[in-house]
Structure 1
Protein backbone atom coordinates (compact mmCIF):
# COMPACT_ATOMS: atom_id res chain seq x y z
CA UNK A 1 0.00 0.00 0.00
CA UNK A 2 1.47 3.39 -0.95
CA UNK A 3 2.81 5.26 2.03
CA UNK A 4 2.64 2.17 4.27
CA UNK A 5 5.52 2.03 6.76
CA UNK A 6 6.86 -0.84 8.85
CA UNK A 7 5.81 -0.31 12.51
CA UNK A 8 8.60 0.74 14.87
CA UNK A 9 8.45 -2.62 16.69
CA UNK A 10 8.91 -4.39 13.35
CA UNK A 11 11.95 -2.26 12.51
CA UNK A 12 13.48 -3.10 15.88
CA UNK A 13 12.93 -6.83 15.30
CA UNK A 14 14.45 -6.52 11.82
CA UNK A 15 17.48 -4.75 13.25
CA UNK A 16 17.89 -7.40 15.95
CA UNK A 17 17.66 -10.19 13.35
CA UNK A 18 20.22 -8.47 11.14
CA UNK A 19 22.56 -8.06 14.11
CA UNK A 20 22.18 -11.74 15.02
CA UNK A 21 22.90 -12.82 11.43
CA UNK A 22 25.99 -10.60 11.33
CA UNK A 23 27.14 -11.96 14.69
CA UNK A 24 26.64 -15.52 13.50
CA UNK A 25 28.77 -14.73 10.45
CA UNK A 26 31.54 -13.38 12.68
CA UNK A 27 31.36 -16.50 14.84
CA UNK A 28 31.63 -18.83 11.83
CA UNK A 29 34.55 -16.73 10.59
CA UNK A 30 36.16 -17.09 14.00
CA UNK A 31 35.70 -20.86 13.83
CA UNK A 32 37.35 -20.90 10.42
CA UNK A 33 40.30 -18.98 11.85
CA UNK A 34 40.59 -21.51 14.66
CA UNK A 35 40.19 -24.54 12.36
CA UNK A 36 42.67 -23.24 9.75
CA UNK A 37 45.09 -21.06 11.74
CA UNK A 38 48.00 -21.59 9.34
CA UNK A 39 45.98 -20.23 6.42
CA UNK A 40 44.94 -17.24 8.50
CA UNK A 41 48.45 -16.48 9.69
CA UNK A 42 49.79 -16.64 6.14
CA UNK A 43 47.70 -13.60 5.25
CA UNK A 44 48.14 -11.50 8.38
CA UNK A 45 50.83 -9.50 10.02
CA UNK A 46 51.43 -8.68 13.69
CA UNK A 47 50.05 -5.36 14.95
CA UNK A 48 52.41 -2.44 14.51
CA UNK A 49 54.12 -1.62 17.79
CA UNK A 50 54.67 2.08 17.22
CA UNK A 51 53.60 4.75 16.98
CA UNK A 52 50.61 4.41 19.29
CA UNK A 53 49.10 7.68 20.38
CA UNK A 54 45.65 8.84 21.48
CA UNK A 55 43.20 8.44 18.64
CA UNK A 56 45.53 6.14 16.70
CA UNK A 57 45.48 2.94 18.78
CA UNK A 58 43.80 0.26 16.68
CA UNK A 59 46.05 -2.28 14.99
CA UNK A 60 45.60 -5.52 13.08
CA UNK A 61 45.38 -8.50 15.44
CA UNK A 62 47.21 -11.64 14.33
CA UNK A 63 46.45 -14.60 16.61
CA UNK A 64 49.52 -16.16 18.20
CA UNK A 65 51.75 -13.33 16.95
CA UNK A 66 53.26 -10.52 18.99
CA UNK A 67 55.40 -7.53 17.96
CA UNK A 68 59.11 -8.33 18.13
CA UNK A 69 60.65 -4.94 17.37
CA UNK A 70 60.47 -3.76 20.99
CA UNK A 71 63.77 -4.43 22.84
CA UNK A 72 63.32 -6.82 25.76
CA UNK A 73 64.15 -5.65 29.27
CA UNK A 74 66.59 -7.37 31.63
CA UNK A 75 65.40 -10.64 33.10
CA UNK A 76 62.87 -11.11 30.29
CA UNK A 77 63.63 -14.48 28.61
CA UNK A 78 61.33 -13.85 25.66
CA UNK A 79 61.14 -16.71 23.16
CA UNK A 80 61.94 -16.22 19.48
CA UNK A 81 58.53 -17.68 18.61
CA UNK A 82 55.41 -17.25 20.73
CA UNK A 83 54.63 -20.62 22.40
CA UNK A 84 51.40 -22.21 21.18
CA UNK A 85 50.21 -22.51 24.79
CA UNK A 86 51.32 -20.97 28.07
CA UNK A 87 54.76 -21.91 29.27
CA UNK A 88 56.05 -21.07 32.73
CA UNK A 89 59.59 -19.74 33.13
CA UNK A 90 61.28 -18.79 36.39
CA UNK A 91 63.29 -15.58 36.25
CA UNK A 92 64.31 -12.53 38.30
CA UNK A 93 62.72 -9.12 37.71
CA UNK A 94 63.84 -6.15 39.82
CA UNK A 95 65.37 -8.60 42.28
CA UNK A 96 62.09 -10.47 42.79
CA UNK A 97 61.51 -14.17 42.15
CA UNK A 98 59.21 -14.11 39.12
CA UNK A 99 57.28 -16.61 37.01
CA UNK A 100 56.84 -15.49 33.40
CA UNK A 101 53.62 -16.67 31.72
CA UNK A 102 54.39 -16.64 28.00
CA UNK A 103 52.39 -17.83 25.02
CA UNK A 104 48.83 -18.31 23.86
CA UNK A 105 46.25 -19.08 26.57
CA UNK A 106 44.70 -22.43 25.66
CA UNK A 107 41.87 -24.35 27.39
CA UNK A 108 43.34 -26.22 30.33
CA UNK A 109 46.22 -23.79 30.90
CA UNK A 110 44.75 -22.62 34.21
CA UNK A 111 44.87 -26.20 35.51
CA UNK A 112 48.43 -26.58 34.23
CA UNK A 113 49.48 -23.40 36.04
CA UNK A 114 47.84 -24.55 39.27
CA UNK A 115 49.76 -27.83 39.05
CA UNK A 116 53.01 -25.99 38.29
CA UNK A 117 52.62 -23.71 41.30
CA UNK A 118 51.73 -26.63 43.57
CA UNK A 119 54.91 -28.45 42.53
CA UNK A 120 57.22 -25.52 43.19
CA UNK A 121 59.36 -25.59 46.31
CA UNK A 122 58.56 -21.94 47.00
CA UNK A 123 55.96 -19.50 45.78
CA UNK A 124 56.92 -16.75 43.31
CA UNK A 125 56.97 -13.14 44.41
CA UNK A 126 55.29 -11.85 41.26
CA UNK A 127 53.88 -12.90 37.87
CA UNK A 128 55.15 -11.51 34.54
CA UNK A 129 53.15 -11.68 31.29
CA UNK A 130 53.82 -11.93 27.56
CA UNK A 131 50.81 -13.34 25.70
CA UNK A 132 48.60 -12.74 22.64
CA UNK A 133 45.62 -14.00 24.68
CA UNK A 134 43.28 -16.89 23.99
CA UNK A 135 40.82 -18.69 26.25
CA UNK A 136 38.84 -16.13 28.26
CA UNK A 137 37.67 -18.76 30.74
CA UNK A 138 41.23 -19.84 31.51
CA UNK A 139 42.43 -16.22 31.73
CA UNK A 140 39.76 -15.47 34.35
CA UNK A 141 40.63 -18.63 36.30
CA UNK A 142 44.33 -17.74 36.23
CA UNK A 143 43.47 -14.22 37.36
CA UNK A 144 41.48 -15.48 40.33
CA UNK A 145 44.40 -17.77 41.20
CA UNK A 146 46.83 -14.84 41.15
CA UNK A 147 44.59 -12.63 43.29
CA UNK A 148 44.07 -15.46 45.80
CA UNK A 149 47.87 -15.91 45.96
CA UNK A 150 48.35 -12.19 46.64
CA UNK A 151 50.87 -11.77 43.81
CA UNK A 152 51.66 -8.60 41.88
CA UNK A 153 51.68 -8.71 38.07
CA UNK A 154 54.27 -7.04 35.88
CA UNK A 155 54.66 -6.12 32.22
CA UNK A 156 58.34 -5.78 31.34
CA UNK A 157 59.93 -3.64 28.64
CA UNK A 158 59.22 -5.27 25.28
CA UNK A 159 56.36 -7.42 26.60
CA UNK A 160 52.85 -7.54 25.14
CA UNK A 161 49.51 -8.58 26.62
CA UNK A 162 46.57 -8.78 24.21
CA UNK A 163 42.99 -10.07 24.04
CA UNK A 164 42.21 -12.06 27.24
CA UNK A 165 45.70 -11.55 28.72
CA UNK A 166 44.83 -8.15 30.30
CA UNK A 167 42.36 -9.98 32.56
CA UNK A 168 45.34 -11.77 34.09
CA UNK A 169 47.23 -8.48 34.41
CA UNK A 170 44.16 -7.05 36.20
CA UNK A 171 44.44 -9.67 38.95
CA UNK A 172 47.74 -8.46 40.40
CA UNK A 173 47.63 -6.90 43.85
CA UNK A 174 49.95 -4.34 42.26
CA UNK A 175 50.22 -3.95 38.50
CA UNK A 176 53.47 -2.51 37.17
CA UNK A 177 53.55 -1.85 33.42
CA UNK A 178 56.57 -0.70 31.41
CA UNK A 179 56.00 2.30 29.19
CA UNK A 180 57.38 0.24 26.30
CA UNK A 181 55.04 -2.71 26.96
CA UNK A 182 51.86 -3.12 24.91
CA UNK A 183 48.46 -3.91 26.43
CA UNK A 184 45.49 -4.34 24.10
CA UNK A 185 41.84 -5.44 24.18
CA UNK A 186 39.11 -6.44 21.72
CA UNK A 187 35.86 -8.39 21.45
CA UNK A 188 35.91 -12.05 22.46
CA UNK A 189 34.27 -15.28 21.52
CA UNK A 190 32.97 -17.36 24.43
CA UNK A 191 32.66 -21.14 24.55
CA UNK A 192 34.32 -23.93 22.64
CA UNK A 193 31.50 -24.78 20.24
CA UNK A 194 30.41 -21.57 18.53
CA UNK A 195 28.63 -23.22 15.58
CA UNK A 196 25.27 -22.37 17.15
CA UNK A 197 22.05 -20.68 16.02
CA UNK A 198 22.50 -16.94 16.23
CA UNK A 199 20.16 -16.43 19.19
CA UNK A 200 22.04 -19.05 21.22
CA UNK A 201 25.37 -17.52 20.25
CA UNK A 202 24.18 -14.08 21.37
CA UNK A 203 23.01 -15.53 24.68
CA UNK A 204 26.38 -17.23 25.21
CA UNK A 205 28.30 -14.04 24.44
CA UNK A 206 26.10 -11.95 26.73
CA UNK A 207 26.60 -14.45 29.56
CA UNK A 208 30.35 -14.48 28.99
CA UNK A 209 30.56 -10.70 28.85
CA UNK A 210 28.58 -10.47 32.09
CA UNK A 211 31.10 -12.77 33.74
CA UNK A 212 33.96 -10.57 32.50
CA UNK A 213 32.27 -7.43 33.87
CA UNK A 214 31.78 -9.06 37.28
CA UNK A 215 35.40 -10.19 37.25
CA UNK A 216 36.81 -6.76 36.36
CA UNK A 217 34.65 -5.12 39.02
CA UNK A 218 35.89 -7.60 41.65
CA UNK A 219 39.48 -6.76 40.67
CA UNK A 220 38.88 -3.03 41.07
CA UNK A 221 39.17 -2.26 37.35
CA UNK A 222 37.22 0.58 35.73
CA UNK A 223 34.57 -1.00 33.51
CA UNK A 224 35.38 1.50 30.75
CA UNK A 225 38.07 -1.03 29.85
CA UNK A 226 35.34 -3.45 28.78
CA UNK A 227 33.70 -0.73 26.68
CA UNK A 228 36.95 -0.31 24.72
CA UNK A 229 37.05 -4.07 24.19
CA UNK A 230 33.45 -4.30 22.98
CA UNK A 231 34.02 -1.44 20.51
CA UNK A 232 36.95 -3.24 18.83
CA UNK A 233 36.26 -6.11 16.37
CA UNK A 234 38.04 -9.46 16.97
CA UNK A 235 40.30 -8.98 13.93
CA UNK A 236 41.73 -5.80 15.49
CA UNK A 237 43.36 -4.90 18.79
CA UNK A 238 42.95 -1.62 20.68
CA UNK A 239 46.25 -0.73 22.36
CA UNK A 240 45.82 1.25 25.56
CA UNK A 241 47.87 4.40 26.11
CA UNK A 242 49.34 5.30 29.50
CA UNK A 243 46.44 7.56 30.48
CA UNK A 244 44.00 4.68 29.92
CA UNK A 245 46.15 2.08 31.67
CA UNK A 246 46.28 4.21 34.82
CA UNK A 247 42.81 5.73 34.44
CA UNK A 248 41.18 2.30 34.18
CA UNK A 249 43.39 1.09 37.07
CA UNK A 250 44.82 -1.68 34.89
CA UNK A 251 48.24 -0.32 35.83
CA UNK A 252 48.87 0.84 39.38
CA UNK A 253 52.35 2.04 38.37
CA UNK A 254 54.01 2.86 35.05
CA UNK A 255 57.74 2.12 34.95
CA UNK A 256 60.52 2.57 32.38
Structure 2
Protein backbone atom coordinates (compact mmCIF):
# COMPACT_ATOMS: atom_id res chain seq x y z
CA UNK A 1 0.00 0.00 0.00
CA UNK A 2 1.44 3.37 -0.98
CA UNK A 3 2.11 6.16 1.49
CA UNK A 4 -0.53 8.36 -0.15
CA UNK A 5 -3.17 5.58 0.19
CA UNK A 6 -2.28 5.12 3.86
CA UNK A 7 -2.64 8.86 4.42
CA UNK A 8 -6.03 8.85 2.68
CA UNK A 9 -7.28 5.98 4.84
CA UNK A 10 -6.05 7.70 8.01
CA UNK A 11 -7.77 10.92 6.88
CA UNK A 12 -11.09 9.12 6.26
CA UNK A 13 -10.89 7.33 9.62
CA UNK A 14 -10.07 10.60 11.34
CA UNK A 15 -13.05 12.28 9.66
CA UNK A 16 -15.38 9.48 10.81
CA UNK A 17 -14.07 9.73 14.39
CA UNK A 18 -14.52 13.50 14.28
CA UNK A 19 -18.10 13.18 13.07
CA UNK A 20 -18.84 10.65 15.79
CA UNK A 21 -17.37 12.94 18.45
CA UNK A 22 -19.38 15.90 17.15
CA UNK A 23 -22.61 13.90 17.21
CA UNK A 24 -21.80 12.59 20.67
CA UNK A 25 -21.10 16.10 21.92
CA UNK A 26 -24.33 17.39 20.39
CA UNK A 27 -26.34 14.56 21.89
CA UNK A 28 -24.70 15.06 25.28
CA UNK A 29 -25.34 18.80 25.08
CA UNK A 30 -29.01 18.15 24.38
CA UNK A 31 -29.29 15.76 27.31
CA UNK A 32 -27.38 17.76 29.94
CA UNK A 33 -30.25 20.23 30.53
CA UNK A 34 -32.62 17.31 31.13
CA UNK A 35 -30.15 15.71 33.54
CA UNK A 36 -29.51 18.94 35.42
CA UNK A 37 -33.11 20.12 35.34
CA UNK A 38 -35.51 17.17 34.93
CA UNK A 39 -39.22 17.71 34.47
CA UNK A 40 -40.94 19.38 37.40
CA UNK A 41 -44.40 18.71 35.97
CA UNK A 42 -46.90 16.99 38.30
CA UNK A 43 -47.16 13.22 38.25
CA UNK A 44 -49.93 11.39 36.42
CA UNK A 45 -51.84 10.93 39.67
CA UNK A 46 -52.89 14.57 39.50
CA UNK A 47 -56.02 15.05 37.40
CA UNK A 48 -55.72 17.18 34.29
CA UNK A 49 -57.80 20.20 33.39
CA UNK A 50 -57.79 22.57 30.39
CA UNK A 51 -54.40 24.29 30.27
CA UNK A 52 -52.94 21.92 32.89
CA UNK A 53 -52.34 18.75 30.90
CA UNK A 54 -48.56 18.21 30.97
CA UNK A 55 -47.43 15.49 33.34
CA UNK A 56 -44.12 13.89 34.23
CA UNK A 57 -43.37 10.79 32.16
CA UNK A 58 -41.56 8.06 34.09
CA UNK A 59 -42.62 4.73 32.55
CA UNK A 60 -40.35 2.60 34.75
CA UNK A 61 -42.20 3.84 37.82
CA UNK A 62 -45.64 3.02 36.44
CA UNK A 63 -47.64 0.10 37.78
CA UNK A 64 -50.38 -2.00 36.25
CA UNK A 65 -52.89 -0.57 38.76
CA UNK A 66 -53.42 0.40 42.40
CA UNK A 67 -51.44 -1.80 44.80
CA UNK A 68 -49.91 -3.85 41.98
CA UNK A 69 -46.46 -4.49 40.58
CA UNK A 70 -44.56 -2.54 37.91
CA UNK A 71 -45.60 -2.53 34.29
CA UNK A 72 -44.07 -5.40 32.28
CA UNK A 73 -41.16 -4.23 30.12
CA UNK A 74 -42.85 -5.65 27.01
CA UNK A 75 -46.43 -6.40 26.02
CA UNK A 76 -48.22 -9.25 27.72
CA UNK A 77 -51.29 -10.87 26.14
CA UNK A 78 -54.08 -12.06 28.45
CA UNK A 79 -57.10 -13.54 26.64
CA UNK A 80 -60.52 -13.93 28.24
CA UNK A 81 -63.02 -15.27 25.79
CA UNK A 82 -63.13 -12.94 22.81
CA UNK A 83 -61.47 -10.10 24.78
CA UNK A 84 -57.70 -9.65 24.87
CA UNK A 85 -55.90 -7.46 27.42
CA UNK A 86 -52.57 -6.04 26.22
CA UNK A 87 -50.46 -4.62 29.02
CA UNK A 88 -46.90 -3.37 29.43
CA UNK A 89 -44.24 -1.56 27.44
CA UNK A 90 -44.05 -1.91 23.66
CA UNK A 91 -40.68 -3.45 22.85
CA UNK A 92 -39.00 -4.08 19.52
CA UNK A 93 -40.39 -7.32 18.13
CA UNK A 94 -43.75 -7.08 19.92
CA UNK A 95 -45.60 -6.58 16.63
CA UNK A 96 -44.36 -9.97 15.43
CA UNK A 97 -45.26 -11.52 18.78
CA UNK A 98 -48.74 -10.03 18.55
CA UNK A 99 -49.18 -11.34 15.01
CA UNK A 100 -48.22 -14.85 16.10
CA UNK A 101 -50.48 -14.69 19.17
CA UNK A 102 -53.44 -13.44 17.14
CA UNK A 103 -53.02 -16.22 14.59
CA UNK A 104 -52.73 -18.82 17.34
CA UNK A 105 -55.31 -17.64 19.91
CA UNK A 106 -57.74 -15.41 17.97
CA UNK A 107 -60.10 -14.19 16.83
CA UNK A 108 -60.87 -11.41 19.31
CA UNK A 109 -63.57 -8.76 19.10
CA UNK A 110 -62.03 -6.33 21.62
CA UNK A 111 -58.58 -5.42 22.88
CA UNK A 112 -58.07 -3.60 26.19
CA UNK A 113 -54.94 -1.50 26.51
CA UNK A 114 -52.77 -0.50 29.45
CA UNK A 115 -49.33 0.60 28.31
CA UNK A 116 -46.74 3.35 28.92
CA UNK A 117 -45.64 3.09 25.27
CA UNK A 118 -42.34 2.20 23.66
CA UNK A 119 -41.43 1.23 20.10
CA UNK A 120 -43.27 3.46 17.62
CA UNK A 121 -42.72 1.15 14.66
CA UNK A 122 -44.14 -1.84 16.52
CA UNK A 123 -47.12 0.21 17.72
CA UNK A 124 -47.94 1.22 14.13
CA UNK A 125 -47.70 -2.38 12.91
CA UNK A 126 -49.90 -3.61 15.76
CA UNK A 127 -52.45 -0.89 15.05
CA UNK A 128 -52.63 -1.81 11.38
CA UNK A 129 -53.12 -5.48 12.24
CA UNK A 130 -55.91 -4.59 14.67
CA UNK A 131 -57.68 -2.55 11.99
CA UNK A 132 -57.29 -5.32 9.40
CA UNK A 133 -58.82 -7.79 11.87
CA UNK A 134 -61.79 -5.49 12.59
CA UNK A 135 -61.13 -5.37 16.35
CA UNK A 136 -62.43 -2.73 18.79
CA UNK A 137 -59.89 -1.10 21.15
CA UNK A 138 -60.82 -0.14 24.71
CA UNK A 139 -59.44 1.53 27.79
CA UNK A 140 -60.75 0.54 31.20
CA UNK A 141 -61.03 2.83 34.26
CA UNK A 142 -57.72 4.22 35.61
CA UNK A 143 -55.60 2.67 32.85
CA UNK A 144 -52.91 4.36 30.74
CA UNK A 145 -52.16 4.59 27.04
CA UNK A 146 -49.13 6.85 26.62
CA UNK A 147 -46.36 7.69 24.16
CA UNK A 148 -46.61 5.14 21.29
CA UNK A 149 -49.63 3.32 22.77
CA UNK A 150 -52.21 5.76 21.31
CA UNK A 151 -51.21 4.49 17.86
CA UNK A 152 -52.39 1.04 18.90
CA UNK A 153 -55.58 2.57 20.26
CA UNK A 154 -56.05 4.32 16.90
CA UNK A 155 -56.14 0.93 15.13
CA UNK A 156 -59.50 -0.03 16.60
CA UNK A 157 -62.56 0.03 14.36
CA UNK A 158 -64.20 1.58 17.43
CA UNK A 159 -62.17 3.25 20.16
CA UNK A 160 -63.79 3.27 23.58
CA UNK A 161 -62.07 5.21 26.36
CA UNK A 162 -63.23 5.39 29.97
CA UNK A 163 -63.35 8.94 31.27
CA UNK A 164 -60.83 8.10 34.06
CA UNK A 165 -58.30 6.58 31.64
CA UNK A 166 -55.24 8.61 30.59
CA UNK A 167 -54.25 8.91 26.92
CA UNK A 168 -51.13 10.97 26.28
CA UNK A 169 -48.60 11.88 23.58
CA UNK A 170 -45.10 13.37 23.38
CA UNK A 171 -41.99 13.53 21.20
CA UNK A 172 -40.57 10.22 20.05
CA UNK A 173 -37.16 8.81 19.36
CA UNK A 174 -37.01 7.07 15.96
CA UNK A 175 -33.61 5.53 16.61
CA UNK A 176 -30.29 7.26 17.29
CA UNK A 177 -27.58 7.41 14.68
CA UNK A 178 -23.96 7.86 15.84
CA UNK A 179 -22.27 6.96 12.54
CA UNK A 180 -23.91 9.05 9.81
CA UNK A 181 -23.89 12.87 9.68
CA UNK A 182 -26.40 14.82 11.76
CA UNK A 183 -28.53 15.78 8.74
CA UNK A 184 -29.18 12.07 8.15
CA UNK A 185 -30.42 11.66 11.73
CA UNK A 186 -32.74 14.63 11.19
CA UNK A 187 -34.03 12.99 8.01
CA UNK A 188 -34.76 9.81 9.99
CA UNK A 189 -36.79 11.78 12.53
CA UNK A 190 -38.71 13.62 9.83
CA UNK A 191 -39.38 10.38 7.98
CA UNK A 192 -40.66 8.80 11.19
CA UNK A 193 -42.98 11.72 11.92
CA UNK A 194 -44.27 11.56 8.36
CA UNK A 195 -45.01 7.86 8.73
CA UNK A 196 -46.93 8.49 11.95
CA UNK A 197 -49.01 11.25 10.39
CA UNK A 198 -49.79 9.08 7.35
CA UNK A 199 -50.81 6.26 9.65
CA UNK A 200 -53.14 8.49 11.68
CA UNK A 201 -54.77 9.76 8.50
CA UNK A 202 -55.21 6.19 7.23
CA UNK A 203 -56.88 5.25 10.53
CA UNK A 204 -59.28 8.20 10.30
CA UNK A 205 -57.54 10.13 13.11
CA UNK A 206 -56.89 13.85 12.71
CA UNK A 207 -53.10 14.21 12.18
CA UNK A 208 -53.27 17.53 14.07
CA UNK A 209 -53.06 15.32 17.14
CA UNK A 210 -49.31 15.42 16.47
CA UNK A 211 -49.03 19.12 17.29
CA UNK A 212 -49.27 18.25 20.99
CA UNK A 213 -46.69 15.48 20.62
CA UNK A 214 -44.18 17.68 18.81
CA UNK A 215 -44.03 20.34 21.55
CA UNK A 216 -43.94 17.96 24.53
CA UNK A 217 -40.43 16.71 25.50
CA UNK A 218 -39.77 12.98 25.95
CA UNK A 219 -39.63 13.21 29.77
CA UNK A 220 -43.15 14.68 29.86
CA UNK A 221 -46.52 13.62 28.48
CA UNK A 222 -49.45 15.68 27.21
CA UNK A 223 -52.65 14.08 28.52
CA UNK A 224 -55.58 14.59 26.18
CA UNK A 225 -58.89 15.82 27.55
CA UNK A 226 -62.03 13.80 26.68
CA UNK A 227 -63.15 16.52 24.27
CA UNK A 228 -59.76 16.41 22.53
CA UNK A 229 -59.97 12.64 22.17
CA UNK A 230 -63.29 13.13 20.39
CA UNK A 231 -62.16 16.15 18.35
CA UNK A 232 -59.16 14.27 16.97
CA UNK A 233 -61.35 11.14 16.59
CA UNK A 234 -58.90 9.11 18.70
CA UNK A 235 -61.93 8.03 20.74
CA UNK A 236 -65.29 7.19 19.20
CA UNK A 237 -66.87 6.81 22.63
CA UNK A 238 -66.07 8.27 26.06
CA UNK A 239 -67.61 6.14 28.81
CA UNK A 240 -68.23 6.68 32.50
CA UNK A 241 -69.24 3.15 33.43
TM-score range, shorter chain: 0.7 to 0.9
Distance 1:227 1:118, change over 3 A: same
2:58 pairs with 1:62: yes
2:191 pairs with 1:207: yes
Between Structure 1 and Structure 2, how many residues are aligned?
Answer: 213
Tell me how far apart the structure 1 counterparts of residues 45 and 193 of structure 2 sit (CA, whole Å).
28
Tell me how far apart the structure 2 counterparts of residues 185 and 130 of structure 1 sit (CA, whole Å).
14
2:182 pairs with 1:198: yes
Q: Could you tell me which of 130, 139, 143 is aligned with 1:146?
A: 130
Contact 1:27 1:194 in 2 (8 A): no
- What do the CA deviations read for 1:113-149 (whole angstroms, capped 9, x no partner)? 11111111x4111111000000000000000000000
Q: Could you tell me which of 134, 137, 146 is aligned with 1:162?
A: 146
- What do the CA deviations read for 1:56-108 (whole angstroms, capped 9, x no partner)? 0001111333367x76xxxxxx962200110101136xxxx211110010000
Tell me how far apart the structure 2 counterparts of residues 231 and 214 of structure 1 sit (CA, whole Å).
19
Gaps of 5+ in 1: 1-19, 34-42, 72-77
Tell me how far apart the structure 1 counterparts of residues 154 and 44 of structure 2 sit (CA, whole Å).
24
Question: What is the correspondence of 1:1-256 to structure 2 with a 5 Å cutoff?
Answer: 24-25=26-27, 29=31, 47-66=43-62, 80-91=69-80, 97-120=82-105, 122-191=106-175, 193-196=176-179, 197-256=181-240
Q: Which of the pair has more CA radius of gyration?
A: 2
Match of 1:74?
Answer: none
Contact 2:63 2:70 in 1 (8 A): no
Tell me how far apart the structure 1 counterparts of residues 209 and 86 of structure 2 sit (CA, whole Å).
22
Tell me how far apart the structure 2 counterparts of residues 185 and 152 of structure 1 sit (CA, whole Å).
21
Tell me how far apart the structure 1 counterparts of residues 233 and 46 of structure 2 sit (CA, whole Å).
23
What displacement does 1:51 show? 1.9
Normalised to the residue count of structure 2, the TM-score between the two structures is 0.80
Contact 1:87 1:102 in 2 (8 A): yes
Distance 1:133 1:44, change over 3 A: farther
